[in-house]
A and B are shown apart, each in its own frame.
Chain A
Amino acid sequence: MNRKAFLARLEARLADAAPPATAHPPAPAPDAVPRVRFPPDERALEVRFGEALTAIRGRLVPLDELLSALAQVRTAVVTTDALALPDHIERLPLDQAERADAGVTLARAACAATGTVLLAPSERETRLASLLPPLHVVAVPRDVLVETPGDVLRDLPRFFPDGLPSAFSLASGPSKSADIDAVVTYGVHGPLAVLAVIL
């Protein structure tokens, strides 16, 4: 069906709409979409970000502990210079993320309430670097910390001043599934572990 006919059919249905089958009709839509709030918390954004990330099985690692945290990592795809990696880690070409032990990327934003990071491809950053390797190491510049995912979703031009990239992701902790008998398992497709470092 072409677009015009498709939409015309919808117009016709709406023009002749029946009253809703409910004794509880919805209120008119509010002028502004209400914000999703979290219980108030006075602590610093980075403290809360670390706590939220831990709650979803990620880890916030102090910069000076990065070396020991990455002791097992031998290879990595790295899309950012923001983080100085230990010398023992071999840097693989970006198209070899599938072979790498870790993917090291930069967060465009990070949400304190949920432990979420905003990831997006660029001239340097691939979609798959944060997804294919078993470990995702994400560098979070202090000045991109915000309160909630809503602070990102409602303010996208701040994070993407040149317009939206073809893909961006809000990622909260490692890949997880509860499909097997309601038992939570990690890493079925994406990273098994997520390490964040605040810079």
Chain B
Amino acid sequence: MRVGLFVTCLVDLVAPEVGVATARVLARAGHEVVFPEGQTCCGQPAFNSGYREEAATVLRSTLRALAAADVDAYVAPAGSCTTMVRTFAAGLLDDDPALAAVAPRLYELSEFLAEHGGELRGRVRRCSVAYHDSCHMLRELRLRGEPRAALARVDGVSLADWDEQRCCGFGGTFAVRSPELSVAMADEKLRTLGGADALCGADPSCLMHLRGRLEKLGVKTPVRHLAEILEEGTRP
């Protein structure tokens, strides 16, 4: 398939390695990957703060950029931004043709691989991974099995037992409006990490928050996006 990457603002500006890994994994699964120019952000920071018009402005411009690409599907390495477009955007934009063109064809990465991942398989050194269920992905997109199935494509990866479903405390601008509370929530979750070799998730925003907290605490557990583990395991 011809797949358009929606890398999301955070990946583009802060964690480009996640975008690179996503593109490579999709290519290795046999897809032609393109990067629609002009995309920026899904508008969620403003939406979650209650600024709907401003969110709509940014969302519209990204949707227009995505819709202009000639692709069969779109893939985002972020459950939250996928949710914004698929679930919440309709309440912001009335009958927007770009939204109608993009939303039904936008997949979160592991969701896409579940349907179109083909025989993609790989191997890493034995590694126990604490997978973090990000909230939008779990409760809005209902993707619980898919990211785990994606990890299962990589031999050597095992799932660690931890408090996987509790919110990490990121919550978008919540993390800066209520920083002490946000950190306390991260700490409660991270206390259950135990001896996992890596913390993994499918939402770069949660991972940025959790990595920042672990680093502040001096904990060396690496924090990896799902795409990075898949990329590492499937290197030619």
Any A–B CB pair closer than 8 Å: yes
Instruction: Write the nearest CB–CB distance from B5 to chain A, whole angstroms.
Output: 25
At the interface, yes or no: B88 with Cβ under 8 Å from chain A? yes
Q: Tell me which residues from 7 to 52 in chain A have a Cβ below 8 Å from any Cβ of chain B.
A: 21, 23
CB distance from B141 to the nearest CB of A (A): 12
The 5 closest A-B pairs by CB, nearest first: A23-B87, A23-B88, A23-B91, A23-B90, A21-B91
A interface SS class: loop
CA distance A23 to B90 in the complex (A): 8
Interface string of B82-110 (1 = CB under 8 A from A): 00000110110000000000000000000
0/1 per residue, B174-199, Cβ < 8 Å to A? 00000000000000000000000000
Residue on A nearest B83 in the bound complex, by CB: A23
0/1 interface trace, chain B 59-77, chain A, CB 8 Å (1 if under): 0000000000000000000
A18 to chain B, nearest CB (A): 12
5 A–B contact pairs at CB < 8 A? A21-B91, A23-B87, A23-B88, A23-B90, A23-B91
> B91 — which chain A residues lie within 8 A by C-beta?
21, 23
Where chain B touches its partner, the secondary structure class is helix
Interface size on B, residues (CB 8 A): 4
Size class of the contact patch on chain A: under 10
Q: Which residues of B contact A (CB under 8 A)?
A: 87-88, 90-91
Cα distance A21–B92 when bound, in Å?
11
B101 to chain A, nearest CB (A): 19
| B81 → chain A closest CB, angstroms | 15
Q: How far in angstroms is the closest Cβ of chain A from B93?
A: 13
Chain A, Cβ-Cβ closest to B89 = A23
Q: How far is the CA of A23 from the CA of B139 in the complex (A)?
A: 13
In the assembled complex, the Cα of A21 lies from the Cα of B90 at a distance in Å of 11
Kindly provide the distance from the CB of A141 to the nearest chain B CB, expressed in whole angstroms: 48
Q: How far is the CA of A23 from the CA of B140 in the complex (A)?
A: 10
Residue of B nearest to A22 (CB): B91
Question: How far apart are the CA atoms of A21 and B47 in the complex, in Å?
Answer: 13
Return A58 CB to nearest CB of chain B, in Å: 36
Provide the bound-state CA to CA distance between A118 and B30, in Å: 67
CA distance A21 to B91 in the complex (A): 8
Give Cα A23–Cα B136 distance, bound, in whole angstroms.
13
CB distance from A124 to the nearest CB of B (A): 54
Kindly list chain A residues whose C-beta atoms are within 8 Å of the C-beta of B88.
Answer: 23
**Chain B residues with CB below 8 A from A23, complex form:** 87-88, 90-91
Inter-chain contacts of A21 with B (CB < 8 A): 91
Smallest beta-carbon distance B49→chain A, Å: 16
Nearest CB to that of A23 among chain B residues? B87
| Bound-complex Cα distance A21 to B50 (A) | 13
Question: Taking the nearest CB of chain A, how far is it from the CB of B18, in angstroms?
Answer: 27
Q: Which residue of B lies closest to A19 (CB)?
A: B91
| A16 to B14 CA separation, bound complex (whole angstroms) | 46
Give, as a whole number of angstroms, the nearest-CB distance from B136 to chain A. 12
User: How far is the CB of B202 from the nearest CB of chain A, in Å?
Assistant: 21
Question: How close is A17's CB to chain B, nearest CB, in angstroms?
Answer: 16
Q: CA of A23 to CA of B87 in the docked complex: distance in angstroms?
A: 6
Assembly CA distance A161 to B87 (angstroms): 52
Shortest Cβ distance from B91 into A: residue: A23
Expressed in whole angstroms, the Cα–Cα distance for A23 and B86 within the complex equals 10
